[in-house]
Amino acid sequence: MLSAVSILLPVFGLIFAGFACRRANVLGPAAASELNRFVVWLALPALLFDILAHATWHELFQPAFVAAFGLAGLAVFAAVVGARVFLGRPLADASIDGLAAAYPNTGYVGFPLCMIAFGPSSLTATTLATILVVCVLFAIAIVLIETGLQSERRPHRLAIKVVRSLLRNPLLVAPALGAIVSAAHVTLPASAETFLKLLGSAASPCALVSLGLFLAERRTSGAAPRESSWWLTLGKLAVQPLLTWWLADRVFALPAQLVEIAVLLAALPTGTGPFMLAEYYRREAHVTSRTILHSTIGSLVTLTLILLHLHHG
């Protein structure tokens, strides 16, 4: 229990630091948006590029694990988007809600937590899960957001506008370039490696501080009901790990340790990616920020129970 708490407490600390700085007026009202721009345009692209540039196809070729973890996340994402659109929410906002319900914090909580629970053998699976979350799921959400924001309804013109917008998005361009570097077996200079590590390591703390700054702002409630965040949190902390377990254990019959790793990663709280997208596209972010906060608090209980069950097994 103490291990899970010790991993999650720094997350709360960074959020609280941003919250306190804004309430004390140390950072101004534009700080959240400007810090988020730094994450979206510099820090997170550097991290994504670095992950893909150092990934090898031999290490990453685990189709059953990819299918179990990926399909569970996509199913939760699609179900939430469909339900939100059916209830009258715009496609762009519904896509961000779907991402909030299916976007586990694999990069910043998953790696240290799996290292504690499973040791170095978990690194490859955690890397695969991170790529699926920050590249595949993120890309699908961005495509839907861009589609929802375009006023053009003729299919071919809409497709052209969406592709142009995607080609200008650093969160998709960076991992694509990283994959090209990996496939071409290009060795980056030591100075470039250091640059990427320094910049990429700033993504998580800056994003969490930006979230704290956002939560500290006194705003009127958005159009979406407050209960929405609780439903999204339930999907994130309960539905996604249960579906992942069913696919990994019953459908694809993965080895026991891979099943446990997949379930633990799927049960992680919502990462800051959905919040960054909401800020980047200037969409209503109240539901997203509350989901991140609620899922992070709730995961203290759910992750502890999962870890205790794994230890008992």
Run of H or E residues at 298: helix 286-312
Higher pLDDT, 120 or 3: 120
Asked whether residue 313 carries a pLDDT value surpassing 60, the answer given is: no
Token code pair at residue 219: 């705003």
Domain, as residue range, for 28: 2-218+227-312
pLDDT band at 253 (very low <50, low <70, confident <90, very high): very high
Token code pair at residue 169: 């998005």
Q: What is the pLDDT of residue 255?
A: 93
Give me the chain's average pLDDT, please: 85
pTM assigned to the model: 0.79
The DSSP letter of residue 270 is B
Token code pair at residue 9: 């407490």
Q: Quickly list DSSP for 14-73.
A: HHHHHHHHHHTTSS-TTHHHHHHHHIIIIIHHHHHHHHHHT--HHHH--HHHHHHHHHHH
pLDDT digits (tens, 9 = 90+) for 186-243: 889 999 999 999 998 888 788 888 878 877 877 655 555 566 889 999 999 999 999 9
Euclidean distance between the first and the last CA atom of the chain, given in angstroms as a whole number: 16
Q: What is the pLDDT of residue 47?
A: 85
Asked whether residue 4 carries a pLDDT value surpassing 70, the answer given is: no
pLDDT digits (tens, 9 = 90+) for 26-70: 999 889 889 988 988 999 889 888 888 887 777 677 899 999 999
Higher pLDDT, 6 or 119: 119
- The enclosing domain of 163 has a CATH number of 1.20.1530.20
Asked whether residue 157 carries a pLDDT value surpassing 80, the answer given is: no
Nearest one of 300, 272, 275, 276 to 287, comparing CA atoms: 275
| Total domain count, the chain | 1
